[in-house]
Amino acid sequence: LYFIAGLDSLQEVAGWHRPETLLTSYNFIFVVRPGVKALDIDANLPPAAVSRVVDCRGMHSTRVARQIAAEQAAPECRIFLVDLGAPDVAASQIRRLASSGQRIGGLVPACVQEYIVKLHLYGE
């Protein structure tokens, strides 16, 4: 199981509930998004999490997949950093559009849009 988030969300890690426990107990994949400036990974992670970082930025997707598969045997959880051409879409943008009744069809898969609408996740 991997938690996937934009690399820019590392700027908010300090505000997470028990960030050190989360980042050392679970596998994370942080994806570089277009237009987001580089940040100092070590300065944004709790000290115990820094040694778990596997920097896959600049690798081809096939090599990234091999690297992640190879790390599955590691006794501790990992934090992978990848830059694989993620779309320029943020969850906050999707929430804002959906809550104001605007279409999000081009930003999320159809099944995700249906789920958001069906459960009224961000309003009517």
Strand-pair partners of 67: none
In b/e form, how buried is each residue of 98-113, taking b as 16+ CB within 10 angstroms?
beeeeebeebbeeeeb
pLDDT tens-place string over residues 66-124? 999 999 888 899 999 999 877 778 888 899 999 988 888 889 889 998 998 899 888 76
Confidence of residue 25 (pLDDT cuts 50, 70, 90): very high
Q: What is the pTM of this model?
A: 0.77
> Measured between alpha carbons, how far is 83 from 76 in angstroms, rounded to an integer?
23
